[in-house]
Amino acid sequence: MSARAGIAITGTEVLSGRVRDANGPWLSDRLLELGVELAHVTICGDRPADLEAQLRFMAHDGMELVMTSGGLGPTADDLTLEVVARFTGRPLALDTGLEQRIGEILRPLTARWPGLDAEALRSANRKQALVPAGATVLEPVGTAPGMVVPPSAGLPAIVVLPGPPRELQAMWPAAIATELFRAVIGRGADFGVSTLRLFGIPESEIVATLRLAEASIEGLDALEVTTCLRRGEVEVVVRHEPDSRSAWEALGDLIAQRHADTLFSRDGSTVDEQVAGMLGEGERTIAIAESCTGGLMAARLTDRPGASGYVLGGLVAYADEVKAGLLDVDPGLIERHGAVSPQAARAMALGALQRCGADVALAITGVAGPGGGGEEKPVGTVCWCGLAGDGAELELRMVLPGDRAEIRDRSTTVGMHLLRRLLRGEPGPRA
Amino acid sequence: MSARAGIAITGTEVLSGRVRDANGPWLSDRLLELGVELAHVTICGDRPADLEAQLRFMAHDGMELVMTSGGLGPTADDLTLEVVARFTGRPLALDTGLEQRIGEILRPLTARWPGLDAEALRSANRKQALVPAGATVLEPVGTAPGMVVPPSAGLPAIVVLPGPPRELQAMWPAAIATELFRAVIGRGADFGVSTLRLFGIPESEIVATLRLAEASIEGLDALEVTTCLRRGEVEVVVRHEPDSRSAWEALGDLIAQRHADTLFSRDGSTVDEQVAGMLGEGERTIAIAESCTGGLMAARLTDRPGASGYVLGGLVAYADEVKAGLLDVDPGLIERHGAVSPQAARAMALGALQRCGADVALAITGVAGPGGGGEEKPVGTVCWCGLAGDGAELELRMVLPGDRAEIRDRSTTVGMHLLRRLLRGEPGPRA
């Protein structure tokens, strides 16, 4: 039985919905990888009584591990450590070495502002160097250190982390490497996690394969296997100790054998990473032509740093007359087959390929709704076409479920998978 | 003193971070408008014991009102009503009228699948028509009804809402119109909320104006005023009873007078709504040329249903050579001034205007990072240009803070404000 854990997110901006919390979902994923069972996520504002009530609730409901995020800054409303110290009965004491290290981080930042009040600065610096008795310090990534506070009678271990996602994520490896953390989750350092990803398959088919694996693979019960759906893909996450390696490999082989045409990642890589890798390493350039996605496909491909190495450009041909002007789509073709048709998608892809002088092109045209749907082409009807300069070509037509935003988003995921298969010289994904 | 409230979000997909919760932030905004103080948001999976623990926590911490979202479907793991009934001690009873109404909603959906098990269907239908004693039913928007469960000794009132955001949002007006809800929040039906929005101003300047208002406007203390930052804009939310109307109007006038050049909305409308309205009603068409935003600006403009009425198209000119090919940008101009320059932005806007035959064009070019920054043009440097066929023209150059994703997102917000001012024939926003 694995440890039960909770996550407490603090910050008035997050509670009010002004800032979208990125830390809860990110920490959820990390806990899943570690095989820790997440039971509660809570969000409160910058009010000490509310955070303390949430910690008390988590302890009362049997959490053995609680992560907090936020409230570690130098200002008066950054109260997390004070609350944690009071809640755990561990008085705060100044760590002078830490105070000095924070001071050194601050020096170049403050040198730019000669007018700053030196005393106020010193006191802010000192506030961030206060450590609850018995806690392990996690060195600052920004200016705020994190803490791992040991469990005590009836109370969970508390991992205190900063609010900015970049700082929290950079500090996480140090947190899980602490002896305290390892002891709570009851795992050695050599425990591993692997993720398989599949596309174009219902989750139930994977569940059936896992049942088959239970009956046929020896030692499978030493693995912890979780499946979940994410943006139309199925993820299979497996936690394994060194001595269960052969069972894990047998499971991976079974899935690869039964689901060869839908398994696209055995090493945890995402389809976006794979497409970017194939374009970048193959020195192949890409152009995009899109209608219903309105720029989202190009935006997704340029989301990654370094995208300028292979993305040449995109054409958002939203109006039909612009499909002719920007992409050389024959207006007669649209008249005959409609703007949402395999023929239009192919003409758009060809236009983008030629106009941008790219090696590969992807086109998407569809009915995102809520209006514009018909008997023959209901809302959600989308056509994709991928073309390569060497003559390779893939086409797909599907009716996607969901509302306008979901149809637009899912269209880019299908587009990524079409691209991946085109770049690998494989047949298209299942409709 | 207003009621304290909590929001409990259920769903394993949300807890695990696979699906991003949209209901917490949306309900937060609605509570803010109603002047209800939100203290806790909690998230749990589809486990009855965890939801019950969260409800107990909310009651124990003094919440008078709790909203739940999710867990109202027909399947066995949809357990919210069962938990709420047990927690409040209000037995579930079948509402036969409701059962019939749900049956009528289901009929056309199930007619398509003649093979469905009629008995299983009837039992699922019946499950969704179970109502806790004393609760007010909120009619289904999808197939699941919501409930308003009255408060009882030491327990909060509980508003039970469905998980799909579209259904939850459509059901909300009926929930807040119930007598039970009005009684808990202690407000009459004639209580109003107004939102002012400003762009290009630090929050501290608004806070200073509010202090001035306290000293100069009679009856101001009858208003509840909240300010907050959202994606670079400042929002001022004011709750007012009918007899404080004159104080509210005086406050609005004071803000309009002191911040004339940054106040862009007195009626709560967003900049996206205003731009869409001016384009649609003015029958003006738009084209977009973008580089660092990689399609996000076009995607934001086409996010709204009906965008095909005024968005002609967009050109994502990511590579410099494509800026010439797609947008007729003179390569010599890029050589002289760089691809991130006011000159390049203007040439891109002109290219988009002419290529798409649009009435208005917006261009964005910048350094989104993490690489590509220099001494003169650090990461975050962005240039915008808006052009209208009638000769109007606005330009802007700024250095935006944040990481790659933040710079790209903020660039589209600035782009929206530049467009708004261009369409209104006003000078550009403050850099």
Cα–Cα distance, B45 to A236 (Å, whole number): 19
Question: Which of A265, A289, A305 is the last residue before a domain boundary?
Answer: A265
Is A418 in the same domain as A306? yes
Query: Residue B113: its pLDDT value, please?
Result: 64
Candidates A163, A85, A157; CA nearest to A127 is A85
Is B165 in the same domain as B213? no
Cα–Cα distance, B410 to B203 (Å, whole number): 17
Candidates B380, B383, B381; CA nearest to B342 is B383
Contact A303 B322 (CB under 8 A): no
Q: What is the mean pLDDT of residues B68-83?
A: 88
Q: Is residue A430 part of a domain?
A: no
Chain A residue numbers with beta carbons less than 8 Å from the beta carbon of B339 are: none
Is A39 in the same domain as A9? yes
Omega before residue A202 within 30° of 0, cis: no
The CATH number of residue A360's host domain is: 3.90.950.20
Query: Residue B190: its pLDDT value, please?
Result: 64
A189 or A330, which is more confident: A330
DSSP states of B404-420: HHHHHHHHHHHHHHHHH
The CATH number of residue A90's host domain is: 3.40.980.10
Is B19 in the same domain as B135? yes
Is A141 in the same domain as A23? yes
Question: Which of A185, A200, A215 is the last residue before a domain boundary?
Answer: A185
- The boundaries of the domain holding residue A152 are 4-185
Query: Residue A19: its pLDDT value, please?
Result: 79
Q: Is residue A161 part of a domain?
A: yes
B75 close to A (CB below 8 A): no
The number of distinct structural domains making up chain A is 3
pLDDT of residue A116 exceeding 90: no
Question: Which of B238, B265, B292 is the last residue before a domain boundary?
Answer: B265
Is B308 in the same domain as B325? yes
The number of beta carbons lying within 10 Å of the beta carbon of residue B78 is 21
Lowest mean pLDDT among A103-117, A247-261, B328-342: A103-117
Q: Is residue A431 part of a domain?
A: no
Q: Is B242 helix (H, G, I), strand (E, B) or coil?
A: helix
Q: Is residue A147 part of a domain?
A: yes
Is B174 in the same domain as B50? yes
Q: Is residue A52 part of a domain?
A: yes
Query: Residue B364: its pLDDT value, please?
Result: 98
pLDDT of residue A380 exceeding 70: yes
Q: What is the mean pLDDT of residues B238-254?
A: 89
Query: Residue A124: its pLDDT value, please?
Result: 82
B111 or B329, which is more confident: B329
Chain B residue numbers with beta carbons less than 8 Å from the beta carbon of A296 are: 295, 299
Residue B234: phi and psi, rounded to 5, are: -105, 130
A63 close to B (CB below 8 A): no
Q: Is residue B429 part of a domain?
A: no
Q: What is the mean pLDDT of residues A400-420?
A: 93
Nearest by CB: A371 against B296, B305, B313: B305
Q: Is residue B276 part of a domain?
A: yes
pLDDT of residue A1 exceeding 60: no
What's the mean per-residue pLDDT of chain B? 91
Candidates A139, A45, A137, A154; CA nearest to A89 is A154
The number of beta carbons lying within 10 Å of the beta carbon of residue A192 is 13
Chain B residue numbers with beta carbons less than 8 Å from the beta carbon of A29 are: 16-17
Lookup: tokens for B77: 């793991």
Nearest by CB: A44 against B15, B40, B404: B40
**For the ranges A36-40, A414-418, B22-26, B71-75, the one whose mean pLDDT is highest:** A414-418
Query: Residue A250: its pLDDT value, please?
Result: 94
pLDDT of residue B1 exceeding 50: no
Query: Residue B33: its pLDDT value, please?
Result: 80
pLDDT band at B194 (very low <50, low <70, confident <90, very high): confident
Is B234 in the same domain as B340? no
pLDDT digits (tens, 9 = 90+) for A242-268: 888 889 999 999 999 999 999 999 998
Omega before residue A331 within 30° of 0, cis: no
Is A321 in the same domain as A410? yes
pLDDT of residue B108 exceeding 80: no
Contact A311 B319 (CB under 8 A): yes
pLDDT band at B189 (very low <50, low <70, confident <90, very high): low
Is B371 in the same domain as B352? yes
pLDDT digits (tens, 9 = 90+) for B29-57: 898 888 788 999 999 998 999 999 999 99
Is A179 in the same domain as A260? no
Q: Is residue B430 part of a domain?
A: no
The CATH number of residue A232's host domain is: 3.30.70.2860
Q: pTM score, two decimals?
A: 0.82
Is B215 in the same domain as B175? no
Contact A370 B305 (CB under 8 A): yes
A54 close to B (CB below 8 A): yes
pLDDT of residue A336 exceeding 80: yes
Nearest by CB: A295 against B24, B302, B403: B302
Range 275-334 of A in CB contact (< 8 A) with B? 285, 287-288, 290, 293-303, 305-308, 311-319, 321-322, 325-326
